[in-house]
Structures are given as C-alpha cells and as structure tokens.
Structure 1
Amino acid sequence: MEYNFREIEANWREFWAKNKTFAAKDHSDLPKYYVLDMFPYPSGAGLHVGHPLGYIASDIFSRYKRAQGYNVLHPMGYDSFGLPAEQYAIQTGQHPRITTKTNIEGGVDNQGNKIAGYRNQLDIMGFSFDWDREVRTSSPEYYKWTQWIFKQLFNSYYDETQDKAVAVSDLIAEFEANGNANVKATTDYEGSFSASEWKAYSEKEKEACLQEYRLAFLADSWVNWCPALGTVLANDEIVNGKSERGNHPVEQKLMRQWSMRIKAYAERLLTGLETLDWTDSIKDIQRNWIGKSIGASVQFAVDDSDKKIEVFTTRPDTIYGVSFMVLAPEHPYVDEITTSEFKSEVENYKATASLKSERDRQADVKNISGQFTGAYAIHPFSGEKVQIWIGDYVLASYGTGAVMAVPCGDQRDWDFAKHFEIEIINIFEGVDISEGAHTEKEGTIANSDFLSGLKVKKAMKLAIYEIETRGFGKGKTNYRLRDAVFSRQRYWGEPFPVYYKNDIPYLVDDANLPVTLPDVDKYLPTEEGEPPLARATQEAWGDDFAGDRMDFNTMPGWAGSSWYFLRYMDPHNENEFVSKEKVEYWKNVDLYIGGAEHATGHLLYSRFWTKFLHDLGHLPFDEPFQKMINQGMILGRSSFVYKKTLSIKTSDKNTKNRKAITLKDSPLILPKDTNTFYSFNKIPSKEALIEEIEKLNPGHISGSFNDYIDEICLTPFRVAIKYIENDVLDIEAASSDPIFDFLQGAEFIFEDDGTYICGHEVEKMSKSKYNVQTPDELVEKFGADTLRMYEMFLGPLEQSKPWDTQGINGVHNFLRKAWRLVHNRDGDFIVTEGEPTKEALKTLHKTIKKVGDDLDRFSFNTGVSNFMICVNELTEQKCTNKAIIEQFVVLLSSYAPHMCEELWVILGNEAGTVGTQPFPTFNPDHLIEANHKYPVSFNGKMRFMLELPRTLSKEEIEKEVLAHEIAQKWLDGKAPKKVIVVPGRIVNVVI
C-alpha cells in the first residue's frame, strides 16, 4: 500500500467531522486544559502559510495534552467585524454580512473572484478544533452578549474603597443620602454637592454627573480622526501618521465619544502581570503602557486670570528649575489665555498640530516646534512669572495636558529652551548643563530655597510636603494608561444598545437585545459627517428603535475579542453569556498562542473586561490567559527582476529623470533605456557601465567618470512567486499574466546555463507584494501532514523566519520513510510480532524522552528533528516490530495526525483511536548500555579503549585492564604504582 496522502487526509477529515472526534465535554472527571488561538479576521485574501504557524503549534499541543489524559477545549471562531469588510462594501456596494459569510464559508464574490473560505483552509490542515463551539463576533447571537457586557459597564463605577467595580445604583443611593462628600471613586468629576443639591438636579444634570463616574461613558475627547475612512482610529491602527488600512492621513479632532474607564484598573492590571506565565517582553510592554509614576500634582495660577493650570510631575524636587510651561495645543485654556498679539500665530500652530497623530507627535523628537501664547503663569513658590507656550509634544489626552518645563533636568525641555532662547536655570550642584540636561535622579539640589543642599530623594519628599502644606497641590500616583475610546464612526461593528431622549442616553432593555445592525443605503458617513448608522431610517431599525434616535456609533474591533474565550465555553446559551457551571469547570485559558503585536490592544482590554466581570461575580478568576506564547512571523520571500539605471552626482535636482545631465558645461550622453532584464548574476558592473559611457562621451571630462557616477542602480520589478522555483523564473508563464505584461517582448540576459535567476528580498507576506503562498497549494502538492511538520521544522516557534519551500521535500520524504516502517517500497505489509530488540527499544525510548521534553518546552522544531533521527535509526536496524512501531505512531500522531490515523488502523487497531492513546511512557532502563567503553590512560595519556560490562566491580575492572596486552606493553613487566578506576567512566594507570 502506497502513501496516498490526498486520499488518506480527505478520508480522515471526513471521519473526524462525522464522529465529532474533538468535541470537548463540559462535564468530565478528567482535568481540563484550555488551548486557545487568537481567532482570525476573515479577509477575502484568505490564509497564507504564515497564518497557520500558531494554529499548528496549538493543535500539536492540544493533541499532546489529550494523550496525557486531559479533557481539552480547543475551539475556533472568527473576529468577523472590522474595517476591511466595510471598505470592500463601500467599493462594491455588497453588504459586509454577505462578504464576511463568503470569506468564511467560501464561494464566489460579486467580482467573480473565487474565495477559498477560511473554514475550508483550516479544515484541510487537520486541526482538532471543536467546531460545534464556533463563534462569529458579527453574529447577532454573539454580539447580543457584547452589548450586554457594555450595559454592565455603563451601569458600574469603580469604588476605590472596595477596589472593585460596583453598581451605579449604589452610587446614586449614596448621592441621595449624602451627596458625593464620602465617595471615593475613579472619576473625572471635580466638584462637590450635597444630597439636597443632587435631588434638585434635573434628570439631564444627574446623568451628566453620572457620566463622570460610569465605567462606560460619553465624553468629549481628542481622537485620531481619519477623514478618508470617516472614523476614529486607535493608536495601533496608525502607522507613520497614516491609517494602517489604506494609508490615509490622520488628524486630531475633538469628538463626543464612548469611552471605557480602563485607568480605574491600572494598578490591578500592573500587579496582575506578576501572576502570569507570559514572556518578559510582553509584560514589559504592558508595564510601560500602563506607566505607573509617583510624584505630585501642582497648580500654577495664570497671571491676570482666575485660571489655574494643573501639572503632574515625577520630579517635584526640580520645581525651582521651572522657567516656562508648555500646554497641549488642544488644552481648553489656550484660547482663553492667549493674548491678542499672538492670536494668529497660536491658531496657525494649532491647525498644523491637528494634522499629526498622537503617536507621531510623541515620536518626533528631532523637530522642535512651539508657540508662545503671550500669557504667564505664577511660580507657586518663588512668585516669579514664567512664560506659557504651546507645543505639540504635549498631548491633551495624556495627564493634564500641561507640563512644567525644567530644561536643566529634561532633555526635551532643554532642547525647547535652547531653540526658543528661554532661560535655563541650573538647580543641580556641581553639574554642567551647558551641553545638555542632567537627567539622572541623583545629586544635590541647588538654587532652590528650602530644597538647596538636599539630596534628590529627600528633596522630593520635602517638596511634596510643602506643596500639600501650602495648598497648591498634593502627592499623587499617576498612570500613563488612558481611558480607551470605545466608539467608531463605522457601519460594520456592534451597534450600541443605547437610545436618546432629550439628548440623554438610555439603555435598551435586556429583553430587547440584541440591537441589530440596520440596513443603510450607503456605508459612508452622512453629508453632515455623522456615522453611517445615521442613514438608517426608523423602519430600518424596526422594533429596536426607541426614544428620539438610536446611537449612531458602533463598537471598536476589540469589543468582541475582549471576551470571546468565555463564549467558547457555552456558545449556544441564550440566557447567559456563559453559565456559572461551565465557567467554573473550564476557568481561564491555560495556553494562549498569538502575536505580540496585540500587547497594548486586545491583550490589555481582555484583561480589563475579565477583571470587571470578576468584580461583578460572573467569573471565578480575574485573568483571562494564564500562559501566553507569541509566535514569530513567517516572512515572505519576494522575487524581483531588474533593469539597470545609474545614479549621477549633481546639484541639479531637476535632472533626476532626464537622459542627459550637464557636466562641465556640456551634456553627458547616457546609454538609452532598453527593455532588458538581467539575470541576477549577470547584472553589469559599475566599471562596465563607466566604460560604456566613456565610449559615448569621448573627451567629455578630464579624469574619471567614477567621480560623477555614484552607483549602478537596479530598478526592481516584482514578480509573483508562483512563477518561480528555486529562484528560477518561468518567463513564459509570468509573461502571460496580465499583471506582469511588462515582461512581454522584453530581452533577457540569462545565466550561462540558460536560466533566468531572480533576486529576492525577505519581507512581510502581502498580496500586493506577490509573495503570498497559500496552504491550499502546498497541501495539494505535499499533504497537510507535511506542511504541519515543515512549518514547525523552520525554527523556534517564537522566532520570525523567512518562508522558503526548498526544504519541504525533505520533510515529505521523511513521512514517506516513516510510512515504509509499515509498508515496504513494493507496498507490502512488513510489520512483525515478537519481542523488540534492545536497539529498537533504546531508539524508541530515547525519542519518547526527547519529544516529550520538546513538547513541554514548546520546542516543536527539535521535536521534528528527533522524529527524523528515530526513523533513520529504526530503518538502519531494519525494525519491523509492531510494539515499537505502534508506540512511534502514537508519538508522531500529534504532528502528522492523518498519516498516523491510517497507520494505526493498518496495524490492527480501532479507527479514530490513535488520538485517545496515552502518551508513551518513558522507561530510562532502555537507555542503559550493557557495556561501557573505558578510555584507559597511563600517567594521564589515553592509550587504548576497552569495552567491559557495566556490572563489573572496581577490582574486576582493574584486573581486566591490567591483563590486556596493550597494558602489558606499557607496564613492561613492572607493577603499577596506582590504578584509578571510575566505574562507567575512565581508568588511569600510574606507573
């Protein structure tokens, strides 16, 4: 019987689906183990070979844990709300619901493109997912509960006394009884009111106050607004000041937004990291993002105004070094305090700053910009006036939106002061600040009145004491973490379960959830700039419509992904997001595999929501993912063909694309462009090109053209990797593709063997780079088991590595060789009964030990290597023993499940049970050699090797050594002075 992988794999996929082989039991006496992958966004492009890397690793580990006796939950679903589907809907007019369904299930889109479908692509890989638990975040049955969780957040506030989320109804009761005098909560509310004042408030005033306390709240906030996409973008959706999707400009805009008061959980998010088995790098990213700092809040009065500017500083000891203040351009006081003399300049600066994203403003440390407002603040200690500037490096959404500038102690302040010629006061004893700021938190304070002569630590404590005593500030712990904007001006997302009456937000009743997405005529914002949902008519909203209008925003992409791991436990429950019984059995995720790029997004928000739901008593744990592994990226190998051009040294910028450049008052004639493509190893040298130019321009200059020609440049043209094998281009096939019609009629300079070799570059896989390889192609050619093992063989899971199929044949041949342990090359069954040999047992148990250790360390690549060594040794031993081969098949089944299921049946076992077999038990006795080869030395120099049984005593070993003919030669009839015997290691004879 031959290894017909296509037939074998199709049969077993059908068997697993029909028999629900991998369905997890919600009630089991077995210990549970929950393995989770970050679920994919189902784009039209489908999966490429980089996507399954983590899925393969998690599947191998899931099968391993089942073999160890665990009840394994290993589900999969789709993060199916998102901007790409909406952008496609805008382009084609096709509803995102339809395109998303097609992208998941496969079919043909309305452009006639064949879509493989994520489900089909995942199925052919042989993953042991429990598909009965599939979730789609865009399904109303799912987002009903996303809306329900939002409602709980809206109806909760953070009680700092209890250090947990508490019902807003309790807060209202306190307001009615005592006002807010005794309330300790995470809030933006700064005023105070009595019970009688609260009762006198209108309903609108009460709600405005409550919005300052709610964990889900409405507020005016500065956001990253992308006009082209018509929506707000999160920081991680922006790259180099442009939208990640579409590369559109992003600007700052003040908008009324839903937000989440995540900063209430900052300390718990920070301390919770200590309990998690995550990489230090991911923990550090979150620690830095949360950004805990201890210092003081200080108020600076504005001269000739009743305004006071509040700043937070981690260096209150440097307060006498303040020589100016900088406000964010968006700070609410800017317009009010700016003098008429500087009004125009300030407005222009604000307009320019609004075109930069927050991330760009923080990252741009080289370019110094700012504008004086004409206003002054009064130094709280010295009483002196300090200038008030605006600068785009200060963000309105971070801290108070204002900084006290101490140029002698902060490099950015120093650069700013130098640039604008502002005084720099030196408050550090014996420190030279002429070349830069002194940023170390050490030394002695000087020129600072009561702080002078104190070391930094003591000065900080005294400064805070005086700030509090004099009543213009207080000691404070601050966090960089900001409240998360939670609304998007998009269509394809969860609608908010909110309606408005008299501009007051009200929640839709639980009984009326979900509020479903209404149909609209266009997926673009309205002409008035409102979100697409503003286009929906009352009839389109149907029974969901209430009040004066519905909320027009939708939730961000991270809403559905913040709790999806919980829904997998109970995906069909219509009454709860997850039952208490099931969540208490499955608890949190034991192993989570996904990309590190989600560290400050999804991973942080999931932790926030989990802690919140724990506070409300819905979860018995407060961390979602106990262990996390971040798989590396599989990078694409892009291929290029090249034309030659050259770069000329010249000061004339307008000559960049001309055929002639003036040197020494006359034009330089260059070789004409031709449609000639050079094979990579035939690209002409710089010297050859100079020689060609000299022939065209005799006597043009004195000296060498080498002084004018910088380099030969190669103009690269991308070609699809599907037309390339081992870097050799199939010119005929590529030329016939309309995308690469520039190759038609071209001249090619070939290698000496007549082939055309492409150049290559390793970069991210992308459809636009023509470097995408789909798993479908490789599964069809080599089989899923080969692809699974090859992706693991490429290198450590956590490392990024380039994709290269040149080694895949080796892995495929390994599986064929493993198959031949059961069937020879003629297809005959060759397995025998009987006792296995010692050599075979040694090979098997050595492999059991190494593969088991590799799996425990998630070292899948070395696991593949150990399987290869095992098969080679068993083949050399001509091992056909059934007991050995059966255990090997069980061992290999996590990596190559299809083939092993087939071999298991061929070996006479029940169909579909290889995955239920216990992981083979390692017996170290089989690794012990009966004999040991002793290196025998004379006076420390090794003279010969002697193999002796391990059972011999020291005396017996000595006797055997001294009786050996070579020993007799070295002894030369003399008795040894001493014989040192280390059993199982060495013998040394001293003569």
Structure 2
Amino acid sequence: MSTPQNRYDFAVIEEKWRDRWLAGKTWQVEADGSRKKYYVLEMFPYPSGRIHMGHVRNYTIGDVVARYRRMCGDNVIHPMGWDAFGMPAENAAIKHGTHPAKWTFENIDYMRGQLQRLGLSYDWDRELATCDPKYYRWEQLFFLKMLNKGLAYRKLTTVNWCETCQTVLANEQVINGACWRCDQAVTPRQMQGWFLKITAYAEELLAGCDRLPGWPEKVLTMQRNWIGKSTGAELEFSIEGSDDKLTIFTTRPDTVFGATFMSVAPEHPLVAELSRGSERETEINDFVQRTQAARRRLAAGEEPPKEGIFTGGYCLNPFTGARLPIYAANFVLMEYGTGAVMAVPAHDQRDFEFARQYDLPVVPVVHPDGEKLDGATMTAAHEGPGVLADSGDFSGLDHEAAKAAITARAEELGVGRSRITYRLRDWGISRQRYWGAPIPIIHCEKCGVQPVPEEQLPVVLPTDVNFDQAGKSPLHILESFINTACPACGGAARRETDTMDTFMESSWYFARYTCPDSHDAPLHKPAADYWLPVDQYIGGVEHAILHLLYSRFFTKVLRDLGYLSIDEPFTNLLTQGMVIKDGAKMSKSKGNVVDPNELIEQYGADTVRLFSLFAAPPERDLEWNHQGVEGAFRFLSRIHRFVLDNREMLRAAGEELPADLGEADRTLHRKTHQTIRKVSQDIDNSFQFNTAISAVMELSNTLFSLNAAQADKQPQPAVNRQAVQTMLTLLFPMVPHLCAELWEELGQAEALDRQGWPQFDPEAAKEEEITVVVQVRGKVRGRLQVTPGTPEEQLKEMALADDKVQSFVGDTPVRKIIVVPDKLVNIVI
C-alpha cells in the first residue's frame, strides 16, 4: 500500500538531480582519439525570452539521442548556445527603452535556467553567444579571407527591402512576398551591398545532395530546386536598330527555328530602354510596377496568370533572320538565366498560353514520330521528344542530336555557346541594422574600399548608442564608430556601417563548439577533426534553404581556407514536426500557446518530456492533448509508487536469476528481453520514441499485473528486480530525473547515467508458444499452439491431424498446403 512518504514529489526529485548533474559537470566531454565520438546537436535558439513547446520537443529529442549514445559507450558531445544577434532584440530596445545587449543577456540567463530545468544533458562549458566579440571576431576574419579569395565582393544591386525592419533581406528570407521576421510586404530597392559568392560552390552543393543519405529527401529536393541547375545554350539576338545584343538562355536550342517572339523580365534594363520616350512609356512603367508588386504577394512556387506588354522593340533570330517582337512578361524572372527567354509557343506551354492570349504565331518545329503538328490547330504545346522539321540543315535530326548540333553551329557563327545556369544567386549579407556583427571594411576617399587589418579584429559593435522610434540603425550617425583612419594611407576614413546577416553566425557555430576556448584561431583543427561532422542534427524543415544550405556552403569555404577537413557539416538530419493546438501551430498570435513553465510546475519536467516524445513520431506534427499529459504523469506515478512500495523486496533481491523459473518468472523475464529488443530497435533505427515508450508501458503493465496476483503466482524478487532495472534504464534517456532517483532507491552504488545500455538475450525473448492459424478454403478452421520455428513439414502434419480441421477436409483430396512460418497453414482442397 502506498504511503504519503512514497508520494511522487517530482519537484524535489528533479531539483536534486539537476543540481547534482550541473555541480558535477556530468556531461563535460573532451576529445579522445581512443573512443568513438558521437556529435548530437539541436539548432540553437534565438534568446527571445521564453522557451515554447516546440523548443521542448526539439531539445528533448536531441537529449534522448545524447543520453542513449552515451549509454551505448560513445564519447558524446552535446553543446548548447545562443543565436543572439537579430531584429527582435533591436525592436525590443526601441519598444522598451532598453539596450539590445541587456535584453539579450537577460533572456539568455532565463532560458538557460529553463533548459536546465528540463534536465537537458548539455556540456555547458561549451556554451557560446554569437553576439560575443570573442565569437564574431572570427566571423570577421572569415569575411576578410573570403574577400582575399574573391568570395566576398561589393556591388550595386536591386535588393529586397523591408521598410518595417529597415533592412535588406536575402531572397531566401522573403516568404510569399513578405519579410520572414515581421511579415510585412517587401519592396525592391537599389543600393550597394556585400555578397558572398555561394554560386562558386553551386555544383558541389548540388552534387553533395546525392551524398547525404541521412537527410530527409524533402529537404534535399528543396535544396536541389533552389540551386536549380539547367544545361542548355546561350544565344545572342541582335536588337533591331541597335548595336546591342539580347542574350538568352534556353534548355531547348533545338526549337530556335520555332521562336516567334521574345519574353523578357519586367525588370530587364531593355524594357525601360525600348520604351523610353515612346507614347507607351507610362503604360509600360505601370505594368512593370504592378507586376513587381503582384510577385511579392505570391506564395513560394506560385505563378501569376500570364500577362505581358509589347515594348515596341524587335530582335532578329540569328538562324532565320526573322523579326521577333519583344514583350515584357510577368512569368520571366530576372534572376534566372539572363532574364530573357526565347519564346517558342509550339514547344513550351507557358509560351503557348501567352501566344494564344496575345494572338502571336505558333510554329511547330519538333514533331512526334509519325505525326505532323499544325500550329493553327494545336490546343497545347508539344514539349516532348520528336524529329526536327522546317529547321534548315537540322531538319530530320532527333531533338537531342539537334540540341548539340545547333549549339555547335551557334559557336561557329559567334552567336552562342553551351552553358550551364543555376537558379542560385549569391548571398547578400549586408544589413542596415545595429544588432549584428560589423562588416570589417573601411571606406577611404583616396584609397577606396579597404579591409580592416586582421590584427585590428574584432571590430567591436559599440554599446553607447541611442535608438529612435523610426527604427533606423544608430550606427549610421555614430561618429565615434564611423570615423577612423585608412589602413592604407593613414588618412581620414569611414567605417562600413552595415552589419552581417545573422545567418553568418549560424553557418559555423557547430564547428566552434568543438573548441570554444580557442583564443589564437577560430578553430583548433585537431579538435574539429575529431568531433566533426555532426552525426545527428535536429531542427525545423523551415531552414532547408536558409541555414542548412548556408552551413553547407560555409563548411566548404572553411575547408578550402584550411580550417576544416570535412566536406559536409551534418551527416544525419532529423526535421521534427510542429506542435499543433486547436488545429494550428502554437503561436502567440493565434492565442493557443501552452507555457512549458506552467506544465513543469504542475506535472514536472519528466512528464513534459515524456508527453512530447510519446504523443507522435518526431518527424510528424504533435497534436496537443492535455489528457495525454495527465496520462504521462499517471504512468510515471505508478512506476514511482511500485518501486517505493516494493523497495525492500527489490533491494534484497540478488542480481542473479534463480535456476527454477516459474510461469510468472518466465513471462516477465521474456517480456523484459522483448522490451529491450524493441526499444533498442526503435531508437537506433528510426528514433521512434513513441513506440519505444509504448513498449516500456507494456512491460510495466506485465510487471504490475503479475505482482497483483496471489503471492504464490508472483514473479520471484530477482526477476522483478531485473524487470524494474531494465525499465528504469530504458526510460532513463526520456525521463532522467525519476529514473535516476528510483535507481538510487534500489540501492545501486553507481549512478544510472554511468550504466551501459542493456542487451537482450535472443533466447530469453522467444515466445514459449505461438498460435499458428489453419485455414481450409480460405477460412479459419483451427489453431495450433507450437514453439517458434517449428518446421514446415511438422506444421503440415499437425494441421492435417487436427480434429477440427479434419471435419472440414474429410475425404476431399488435398491439392496443396501453403505454410507461412510461425503464422499460417493454408490447406487447399
């Protein structure tokens, strides 16, 4: 019978073990070449002030992996830090009259306490914050190294501008035409900015997608599509009345004889040039502005209804001499290829729809085998294979052969060349914000753009700043920061006031974790070589073409600069699902947030951890269910009560099992080893923590029910002890505080976190008897109780000898007997 003293006081238990683990630095780890390493990492958080249930789920998943791998004998590194630069801190400073640094570090302190309260097994000695000059000084060094290698450069460009945040956004940070941070509409703006040449690694980034089998295919597909490799030809069309050329890229040079007009992006410089001074200039300008505004409102991958406008200009087909009208079309993108498309409506569906809408010619030049297409009667473009016709010397060629032949002829004529293009564009890293790492550049009127000498790093972000309510960066007017000396001539010069995109910090933090105390270099190569790559990375799929792509790029750059030896940063990637409540993702704006602090106060950290793991597989969305939380608490309470109520019996029991096992002993012993097998498989193979927990629940039910039987039918103490110890060991990665406490209650001298993962005995896990179904004419007519692995011939004999089966077979000849081992005997008569 449970006593008040045996009540599950989770608050006392969790505080005791949290303090013990932190004081003893239980999870501190060092590189050890004699041991197999395992690096598990969750994407580090922005210190917004409070963790949410998404954080709880993400970090609990990682913690289970870390604890499990330690118990398997690996040397596990499991670090945590803070992605601490960014707009929210600046917005908070403006709103509350505080400083971003004060707001950030107060949040870090609070959130660190929350994570520690969850019992997450981090090596806190490796903690870092990206807003610390000791961290971003090395990021500034990387920038200078990239500048020296031509991988960083400055140019005038049209950028995505967020008026609310007063900053430039990378293409990847514009979601459905809006800022990814504040959700306000983005507008184009021309300005000077700094870029990283990620396109120099486009082919390696693309090829690397095929060498990441541990990544979800959906993430790899998103990256492949974002890189967007296309193989084709670049062709030059003379502009009528001008010495200029209009260069286009096409993947279908075989269709050049069927081109009937030219489509260019509304932003293409030629549009303004051709319309300038014409009577339609205003109409064309209005079309361009309207198209740009409409594009920014489109969802990712969405296309607008086809629309265009004639610019008044013509170009000449280099193969036929035909005059092709030049249209500005809203479906042509300036960032793809050259921003101009050779329109062949007979063989491209978008061109076909556009041509029909604006009454433009459709000229088929690639016909399917045995068929003759008629442009006047075609109802859709033929985009498939075929043979060329009406294509001069190339008529009669297969379309693939024609691609190579026409490209070669273009090269001979000096009007084209073969080319590979990518959708990927260079990474714009300039941000017109304060709370970021300063770009280490000095502008001198005499010497031009000058890098800050390496020995002067870090360029420290000044803290003596004031914010106005308009939200503009104070760096632009802070003379004490701006005014400096030119490192080349010594004369008066001005610092760069743009700061770096915060994705710069998160693109290499995982490497810095391996050597956070390295003072003379950004990375200690022996440590980085030992720990990297990350074996298991965990985070949201929303970072597929932001952080994950940038981290792959950064890793390759650091490799080429000599800092790293790896090609890829993350061997395996788990993208966990969202936490859903009331049919929507938990968010403050929807008013459906559940505060983890309140749950921990009411039920304890172990219950919150258990629920977040049990409610759904990690890669799927977790539907919030308060009854599920209560159920998890009841389950843990039953385990606690059983162990304490039977503490004396369990402590007195020996570790060795008795030789004479009764029926209850055999049942519990078998279930114990079956559970070890199931839980090990579920964690090792697919991180299916929900089914692993379910298996432990089944073991506990068997344990409880057998011990509720009459005394002479209960398992012996040693068998009970083995089952309880196994249950605690298997649950320890999920609910560490309670399991550690109950392990100690069993009188164990060595802490549970130092125990190895249990191994199952295949013989012990075998069922003593199983049921094999016997069918006659497809209907169940009998059941056989047999030992697993009974030979097929023996099963046939037993089935035919069964009285019930015989009553249905009788004297009817048996045509054949089909045996599914350990499951089924099917008698065909």
TM range (shorter): 0.7 to 0.9
Q: 1:431 aligns with which of 352, 357, 373?
A: 373
| Rounded Cα–Cα distance in structure 2 between residues aligned with 1:376 and 1:958 | 84
1:823 is the counterpart of 2:761:
no
1:841 is the counterpart of 2:662:
no
**SS of 2:617 mapped into structure 1:** coil
Query: Contact 1:230–1:525 at 8 Å: present in 2 too?
Result: no
Deviation at 1:910, TM superposition (A): 3.1
Alignment of 1:741-820 (within 5 A): 762-820=583-641
1:894 counterpart residue number: 733
| Rounded Cα–Cα distance in structure 2 between residues aligned with 1:129 and 1:155 | 37
Deviation at 1:98, TM superposition (A): 1.2
1:340 is the counterpart of 2:161:
no
1:399 counterpart residue number: 337
Query: Contact 1:252–1:355 at 8 Å: present in 2 too?
Result: no
Query: Contact 1:299–1:380 at 8 Å: present in 2 too?
Result: yes
Deviation at 1:793, TM superposition (A): 1.1
1:560 is the counterpart of 2:505:
yes
Are the structure 2 counterparts of residues 525 and 267 from structure 1 closer, same or farther at C-alpha, using a change threshold of 3 Å?
Answer: farther
Deviation by residue 1:401-453 (Cα, 9 ceiling, x = unmatched): 22222222222223333333333333343235556542523123333222333
Deviation at 1:278, TM superposition (A): 0.7
Residue type of the alignment partner of 2:126: R
Residue type of the alignment partner of 1:843: K
Residue type of the alignment partner of 2:131: S
Deviation at 1:935, TM superposition (A): 6.9
Deviation by residue 1:649-670 (Cα, 9 ceiling, x = unmatched): xxxxxxxxxxxxxxxxxxxxxx
The CA RMSD measured in Å over matched residues stands at 3.5
1:928 is the counterpart of 2:757:
no
1:95 counterpart residue number: 99
Deviation by residue 1:593-619 (Cα, 9 ceiling, x = unmatched): 111111111111110111111122221
1:442 is the counterpart of 2:378:
no
Q: 1:608 aligns with which of 519, 540, 553?
A: 553
1:671 counterpart residue number: none
1:367 counterpart residue number: 305
Deviation at 1:365, TM superposition (A): 3.1
Deviation by residue 1:573-598 (Cα, 9 ceiling, x = unmatched): 11111101101111210000111111
**SS of 1:296 mapped into structure 2:** strand
| Rounded Cα–Cα distance in structure 2 between residues aligned with 1:50 and 1:872 | 31
Alignment of 1:123-162 (within 5 A): 123-156=116-149
**SS of 2:410 mapped into structure 1:** helix
Alignment of 1:182-221 (within 5 A): 214-221=150-157
Range that drifts further, 959-968 or 476-485: 959-968
Query: Contact 2:651–2:747 at 8 Å: present in 1 too?
Result: no
| Rounded Cα–Cα distance in structure 1 between residues aligned with 2:287 and 2:441 | 38
Deviation by residue 1:106-156 (Cα, 9 ceiling, x = unmatched): xxxxxxxxxxx2212211211111111111111111111111111111111
Query: Contact 2:774–2:784 at 8 Å: present in 1 too?
Result: yes
**SS of 1:626 mapped into structure 2:** strand
Residue type of the alignment partner of 2:740: E
1:588 counterpart residue number: 533
Q: 1:319 aligns with which of 220, 232, 256?
A: 256
1:76 is the counterpart of 2:80:
yes
| Rounded Cα–Cα distance in structure 1 between residues aligned with 2:257 and 2:392 | 8
Are the structure 2 counterparts of residues 439 and 961 from structure 1 closer, same or farther at C-alpha, using a change threshold of 3 Å?
Answer: closer
1:4 counterpart residue number: 9
Q: 2:434 aligns with which of 468, 491, 503?
A: 491
| Rounded Cα–Cα distance in structure 2 between residues aligned with 1:349 and 1:446 | 37
Q: 1:389 aligns with which of 318, 322, 327?
A: 327
Alignment of 1:709-728 (within 5 A): none
2:457 counterpart residue number: 513
1:270 counterpart residue number: 206
1:14 counterpart residue number: 19
Deviation at 1:253, TM superposition (A): 1.6
Query: Contact 2:465–2:474 at 8 Å: present in 1 too?
Result: no
1:853 is the counterpart of 2:681:
yes
Alignment of 1:905-984 (within 5 A): 905-910=744-749, 913-930=751-768
Residue type of the alignment partner of 1:537: E
Are the structure 2 counterparts of residues 93 and 445 from structure 1 closer, same or farther at C-alpha, using a change threshold of 3 Å?
Answer: farther
Residue type of the alignment partner of 1:915: D
1:234 is the counterpart of 2:227:
no
Query: Contact 1:489–1:532 at 8 Å: present in 2 too?
Result: no
2:187 counterpart residue number: 251
1:869 counterpart residue number: 698
Query: Contact 1:491–1:523 at 8 Å: present in 2 too?
Result: no
Query: Contact 2:345–2:355 at 8 Å: present in 1 too?
Result: yes
Residue type of the alignment partner of 1:291: G
Query: Contact 1:299–1:472 at 8 Å: present in 2 too?
Result: yes
Are the structure 2 counterparts of residues 235 and 436 from structure 1 closer, same or farther at C-alpha, using a change threshold of 3 Å?
Answer: farther
2:111 counterpart residue number: 118
Deviation at 1:983, TM superposition (A): 10
Query: Contact 1:515–1:544 at 8 Å: present in 2 too?
Result: no
Deviation at 1:982, TM superposition (A): 11
**SS of 1:138 mapped into structure 2:** coil
Residue type of the alignment partner of 1:314: T
1:176 counterpart residue number: none
Deviation by residue 1:48-91 (Cα, 9 ceiling, x = unmatched): 21222121111111111101100001111111111122222232
Alignment of 1:665-744 (within 5 A): none
Query: Contact 2:486–2:493 at 8 Å: present in 1 too?
Result: no
1:285 counterpart residue number: 222
1:23 is the counterpart of 2:16:
no
Query: Contact 1:96–1:492 at 8 Å: present in 2 too?
Result: yes
Identity %: 40
Residue type of the alignment partner of 1:40: P
Q: 1:549 aligns with which of 491, 494, 509?
A: 494
Deviation by residue 1:533-580 (Cα, 9 ceiling, x = unmatched): 211212577899985101111111210000000010011211111101
| Rounded Cα–Cα distance in structure 1 between residues aligned with 2:520 and 2:56 | 34
Larger radius of gyration: 1
Deviation by residue 1:263-313 (Cα, 9 ceiling, x = unmatched): 111110111112112111111111111111110011111111121111111
Query: Contact 1:251–1:356 at 8 Å: present in 2 too?
Result: no
Query: Contact 1:887–1:920 at 8 Å: present in 2 too?
Result: yes
2:661 counterpart residue number: none
Deviation by residue 1:173-228 (Cα, 9 ceiling, x = unmatched): xxxxxxxxxxxxxxxxxxxxxxxxxxxxxxxxxxxxxxxxx111101222111223
TM-score of the superposed pair, with normalisation by structure 2: 0.88
Are the structure 2 counterparts of residues 69 and 386 from structure 1 closer, same or farther at C-alpha, using a change threshold of 3 Å?
Answer: same
**SS of 1:548 mapped into structure 2:** strand
Deviation by residue 1:784-824 (Cα, 9 ceiling, x = unmatched): 11111111111111111321212211111111122233122
Deviation at 1:361, TM superposition (A): 9.5
**SS of 2:521 mapped into structure 1:** coil
**SS of 2:695 mapped into structure 1:** helix
| Rounded Cα–Cα distance in structure 2 between residues aligned with 1:10 and 1:289 | 47
| Rounded Cα–Cα distance in structure 2 between residues aligned with 1:396 and 1:971 | 77
Query: Contact 2:792–2:819 at 8 Å: present in 1 too?
Result: yes
Deviation by residue 1:309-360 (Cα, 9 ceiling, x = unmatched): 1111111111122222233333234433335223333333344345455673
Query: Contact 1:225–1:231 at 8 Å: present in 2 too?
Result: yes
2:711 counterpart residue number: none
Residue type of the alignment partner of 1:806: Q
Deviation at 1:919, TM superposition (A): 0.5
Query: Contact 1:525–1:531 at 8 Å: present in 2 too?
Result: no
Deviation by residue 1:374-419 (Cα, 9 ceiling, x = unmatched): 2221211111221222234333333212222222222222333333
Residue type of the alignment partner of 1:846: Q
